[in-house]
Amino acid sequence: MVRTWFLLILLGLTTGCATFRLLQDKCPKHGIRLQPDEVPFSFGNIRTEPAYLEAKKKWFPDVADFAFGGCCPHYKDGPTKTLYFCSECRDAKRLWIASRMKSESAE
C-alpha cells in the first residue's frame, strides 16, 4: 500500500499536473473531453477582476488559454506549456468578454 502511494507521488512529481489532469479528463461544466493545447506563459502580477474569476469558476472553468509563469519572465520551461482545455469553455469565455464589452460600450 505504501509502495503504491509512493509510486503515485513519484509519477506526479516527474510528470507534473498533466498526469492528474488526464485522470480528470472531462470538463466539469460541459462534460466534454479536454484537449491538449500549447499555450503561452503569462508573467508578472496578473490582476484579474473578481467578476472574471467568478465567471470563470461558473461558466468556463477549463478555459486554460494561458499558463501562469511566475513573477519574472523566463523561459526555462520553454515558451509554451501544454494545458488541457474545453472548447466550450473557450467559447463561453469569448461570449462573456463580448457581452462585457457590449455592456461597457452601452454605458
Residue numbers of the site for Zn ion (CB under 5 A)? 27, 29-30, 62, 86, 88-89
Q: In sequence order, which ranges of the chain are alpha helices (DSSP H)?
A: 2-15, 17-23, 50-59, 87-106
Contact 35, 63 (CB under 8 A): no
The CA–CA distances, whole Å, from 45 to 15, 51, 68, 72 equal 26, 18, 10, 9
Closer residue to Zn ion, CB minimum distance, 69 or 86:
86
Closer residue to Zn ion, CB minimum distance, 60 or 69:
60
Closer residue to Zn ion, CB minimum distance, 83 or 86:
86
